[in-house]
Amino acid sequence: MTFENVGPASGIAKGTALQVEVDGVEIAVVHADDDNFYAVRDECSHASVALSEGEVDGCTLECWLHGSRFDLRTGEPSGPPAIDPVAVYPVEIRDGDIYVSIQPSNGVEP
């Protein structure tokens, strides 16, 4: 599995998300409230808007348009209007930098 450096971990404050692009795929990298970093496809499965513009709550990311929440660990929505999961990508922290793979860990295609 290949990982790409997307920047310093210090560049994403706890409780926020940042949009990055890896090999043409837009990904939301999230510094969750549990102090871990997660990466999900930066597009709501319901309305095709950027999830990185939504709010982080615990280990979920809320779509700003219609309020769907996605579990950052599994990509599963917690309820309507979204019914389909978003792709989740493996994340590693190496020497203070965030590395993301574009091979989804949950089997959902980008």
> Within a 10 A sphere around the Cβ of 21, how many other Cβ atoms?
12
Prediction pTM value: 0.94
For the segment 15-67, what is each residue's pLDDT rounded down to a tens digit? 999 999 999 999 999 999 999 999 999 999 998 899 999 999 999 999 999 99
Burial 38-72 (b: 16+ CB within 10 A, else e): bbbbbbbbbeeebbbbbebeebbbbbbbeebbbbb
- CA dist 51 and 60 (Å) reads 11
- CA dist 106 and 110 (Å) reads 11
Q: What are φ and ψ of residue 102, in 5° steps?
A: -95, 15
Q: In one letter, which amino acid is 100?
A: V
User: Taking Cα atoms as reference points, which of 76, 60, 52, 80 lies closest to residue 68?
Assistant: 80
Is the per-residue pLDDT at 10 higher than 80?
A: yes
